[in-house]
């Protein structure tokens, strides 16, 4: 118990004012050097930090309306339909799409521009919502390349603005 209290106090002291982006491998090596005598505890913490910081904590992914793609004639083709369903039902693919998109407030990728192989015949439009300049999440639409971009962008913009307003009212209720 006493060791945990000491490690907790040391971590609090060393991590105060540090953003997630500043926690690099070099930072962790320096942190371990600061915690001499507590290597056993530190070695238990490292895998959790690695999973959270390097692999990312993507949170929950919700998909709705995937079957609406079948309203487009090009998705009557069984191979295209299977590829699309494979895309939206694969959390790893969706994580990759959302993580690429969340670096910008609005991200559009069309057809061959898509970095996920099974999305080469789709358009991906994502928008990120944030609080105090920190991205909190991303929403998006995956559809055919002939999607109505102006309508989708307008809807995403409206939804993101509403989410931003709600987040701001919670974290900064002035």
Give me the residue spans of the domains in the chain.
Answer: 2-54, 66-171
Task: Using only the alpha carbons of the chain, give its radius of gyration.
Answer: 21
Asked whether 127 and 106 are in contact (CB, 8 A), the reply is yes
- DSSP one-letter string for 14-59: HHTT--GGG--HHHHHHHHHHTTT-HHHHHHHHHHHIIIIIS----
Average pLDDT value for the chain: 80
Q: Which CATH superfamily hosts domain 66-171?
A: GAF domain (3.30.450.40)
Segment 47-57 shows an average pLDDT of 57
Percent of the chain with pLDDT strictly greater than 70 = 84
Answer yes or no: pTM beyond 0.75.
no
Digit-coded pLDDT (tens) for 109-153: 898 887 777 788 889 898 888 877 777 788 888 889 989 999 999
Cα–Cα nearest to 149, from 112, 109, 94: 109
Measure CA 91 to chain center. 11
- Residue 134, exposed/middle/buried by CB under 10 A (0-12, 13-18, 19+)? exposed
């Amino acid at each position: 118990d006493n060791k945990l209290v000491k490690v907790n106090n040391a971590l609090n002291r060393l991590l105060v004012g540090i953003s997630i982006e500043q926690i690099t491998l070099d930072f962790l090596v320096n942190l371990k050097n600061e915690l001499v005598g507590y290597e056993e505890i530190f070695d238990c913490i490292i895998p959790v930090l690695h999973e959270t910081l390097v692999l990312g904590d993507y949170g929950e992914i919700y998909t709705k309306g995937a079957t609406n793609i079948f309203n487009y004639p090009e998705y009557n083709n069984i191979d295209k339909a299977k590829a699309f369903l494979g895309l939206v039902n694969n959390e790893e693919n969706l994580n990759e799409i959302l993580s690429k998109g969340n670096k910008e407030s609005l991200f559009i990728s069309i057809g061959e521009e898509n970095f996920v192989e099974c999305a080469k015949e789709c358009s991906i439009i994502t928008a990120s919502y944030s609080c105090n300049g920190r991205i909190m999440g991303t929403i998006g639409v995956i559809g055919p390349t002939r999607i109505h971009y102006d309508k989708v962008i307008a809807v995403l913009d409206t939804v993101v603005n509403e989410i931003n307003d709600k987040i701001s009212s919670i974290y900064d209720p002035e």
